[in-house]
A and B are shown apart, each in its own frame.
Chain A
C-alpha cells in the first residue's frame, strides 16, 4: 500500500478519535455506556482477530484474558486501594505472561490443539478464580466503592480502542503480519521459507491477549461489581468470534465493522423486542453464515465494491 494511503487511513482514524472524543457532552449516561461497551467489543473482536484471523489459530477461550483483567483491576482497587487506571498496566502484563505460559507449549504444535487448550484455559481460569478465595473472594464477587464513572471509563476505553486499531493496522500491514498470514495459509511452507512459526504465533498470541485484559479491567470498574460467572462468560468469547466473522476475519476493518454492527443490532432488538431478541439474533447469524461466509468486507471485495488490499 502506498504511503499516501497510510497517511489517509491514519487521518481517518484521527477523525474518528476526534468525533468520539467530543461526543460525550451530547450523550446521555446510557448512550455513553452504550458507546463505551461498543468500543469494548471493537477491542475484543480486533484482538481475537490477531491470533484467530491473521494467524488462523482459533481461540475458543479469549474471555480468560478479559476475566484476568477484570479481576486484576477489582482486586487491586477494592482490596489494595490502587488507582484504577494504574491497574490496567498490571492487567495487560499479567495477560501477556499467561498467554506466553499457555502458548509456549501449545503453539509449538500445529492443528487443533490450540483451540482445545484455550477452551480449557477459560474454564480453568474461572475455576481458579472461584477457588482462590483469599485473593478473589471466590463466589462472593468483588464490589468497588460506588462512583459515577461513565465519563472516565468512556475515555479510557476510547484510548484503548484507538491503540488496538493502530496495533492491528500496523500488524496487518507489516512484514510481521504477512508472515502471520503465511503461517495461516500453509504453516509448513512458511517454515521452509525460514519463518520461525512458533515465535511468530507466540508474539501474535501475546499481542491478542493484552488488550482484552485492559478492556476487562475497564469494564469491571464500570460495572462496579464482578463475580466469576459474569466475567468468565462464554458468550463473550462467542461474541468476539462472531463479530470478527461478521465483519470479515483476517482484515483490520472487518472486526471493527462487525463489532459495531452486531452490538448495535443486539441493543436495538433487546430494547425493542425484549422477548424476541434471541430469535432475531439467531436469524441474523444464519443470514451472515449463508450469504456472507467471508463477512461483510469479504462480501464487498468479492463484488468489487472495495479494492482488495485497501481494507486490510
Chain B
C-alpha cells in the first residue's frame, strides 16, 4: 500500500510544515503589525484595491511621522479572493498565528458580517470601512465600528430631491442581495416620511440584464421616479433599455453604478441626469474636511488617479484608528476598543463619533451626472450645483 503510505506522509508533512511556520513568527519590538484580508482578486478586487492603495499610503505616512506610539507599522495584507470562507480562515490565521497587533477591515458587507464573528471572539476591534449594512451592528457586537453611511441612507438624497421636484409616486427596485435590499428598505422609509407613494417594489436576481418586462411593469404602475438599488451592469442595462423602450421617468437614481469612473464613459449621453450616491468625493473646497487636500495630492501622485470614496473611507478609518491608539496610549485591545467607542474626531473623511451600537452618522452625498461629470447636488450645504431635474425625455435629447 505504497500509495496510501505516501498519501499519509504528505498529509503529515503538510501539517508539520504548517505548524513549524506558525511557531517561527517573532518580530522585533519596534514593529507593530496591522493585518487584514482584503479582496485583491475576485469580484470585489476593484473597490477593495482602492482601499489597499489608501492603506499603503497611510502606512508610509504614519511611519514618516514616527509610527504608532513610536513603533514602525508593518501591514500584512492577505487576499480573501472575495470569498467568505477564505476570509474567516485568514482572519483566524492573522489573529491566532501571525498574532497581528491590529486588524484591518475586509471589503463587502457580506464578508464583514462573517468576519465580525471572528474578531468579536478574539476581542480585536476594527473600523469597518468596507461595510455599509446596518444589521452588522444590530447583534450587540462590541468590537466593530461603523464609519461610512449605511445602505439605508444611500437613496436618502434621491428621495429628498424627488420630493423637491414634486414627484408623488416612485418605484423601488434592486438586486436581491444584502446591500441593495437594505438600501431599498431605507428608500421606502424615507419615501414614507416625506409622503411619497411607493407604487412598486421588486428585487431581481443578481446578474439579471434584461429589464424590459420590469420597466414596462413600473411604468404601468404609474411611477414617476425610479429608485434602483443597483451596481454597474444592472444600472447600465436599465438605462439603456429605458432609452430603447422610450420609458421616461422624472428621476432615476442608482446606488453604486454611477459612482464608478467608467460609468459616464461607457454610457455616454445615456448616463446624463442620473443620480448616484457617494460616501465622499475628492472635493476639499466643498467638503472642507481637514487634511483632504494633502491626502488627495499624495494619493494622486502615487496612484495616478484621484481617490474615490472607497479609498477615502479606508484612509479616514486609518486616521481614526491612529487617533484612537494615541488616545488609548497602548495597543491593548480593550483600551483601543474603549477609545474607538468614545472618540470624537473629524478626519479627511468627515466626522467620526459612534453611538452605543458602534454606528457613526456619516453624511453621504448625492450627485448627478451632468455633461459627463459627477456633480454633488445634495445635501444643499455641500451642493456644487443645482440638480437638473426632472430628467428630459429621451426623445428630446
Contact = CB atoms under 8 A, between A and B. Distances in A.
Q: Do A and B come from one complex?
A: yes
B15 interface: yes
Contact of B177 (A12, A223, A229): A229
Interface stretch (A25-33, A176-184, A201-209): A25-33
Given A30-B22, A131-B176, 7 more contacts: A27-B19, A28-B96, A139-B181, A141-B113, A141-B178, A219-B85, A260-B10
Interface stretch (A49-57, A188-196, A270-278): A270-278
B121 interface: yes
A223 B114 contact: yes
B209 to A, nearest CB: 14
Nearest to A20: B11
13 contacts: A5-B1, A30-B97, A31-B19, A31-B22, A33-B89, A34-B89, A130-B206, A139-B176, A143-B135, A224-B88, A227-B110, A230-B84, A306-B2
Given A143-B139, A274-B79, A275-B41, A253 B4 contact: yes
A14 B235 CA distance: 56
Given A31-B97, A141-B110, A270 B79 contact: yes
A23 B93 CA distance: 17
A159 B226 CA distance: 53
Contacts of A253: 3-4, 7
Contacts of B175: 139
A127 B203 CA distance: 12
Given A19-B12, A230-B85, A30 B41 contact: no
Which one of B19, B77, B114 has the greatest number of beta carbons of chain A within 10 Å?
B114
Nearest to A230: B84
Contacts of A283: none
Interface in B135-188: 135, 139, 175-178, 180-181
Interface of B: 1-5, 7-8, 10-12, 14-15, 18-19, 22, 40-41, 77-79, 81, 83-86, 88-90, 92-93, 95-97, 110, 113-114, 117, 120-121, 135, 139, 175-178, 180-181, 203, 205-206
Interface in A135-155: 138-141, 143, 146, 148, 150
Given A27-B19, A225-B84, A261-B10, A274 B110 contact: no
Contact of A278 (B4, B14, B22, B41): B41
Given A23-B15, A28-B97, A225 B117 contact: yes
A225 B114 contact: yes
A222 B118 CA distance: 11
Contact of A310 (B1, B10, B14, B90): B1
A222 B178 CA distance: 20
A274 to B, nearest CB: 4
B96 A30 contact: yes
A138 B176 contact: yes
A260 B7 contact: yes
Nearest to A260: B11
Given A141-B113, A143-B139, A224-B114, A300 B3 contact: yes
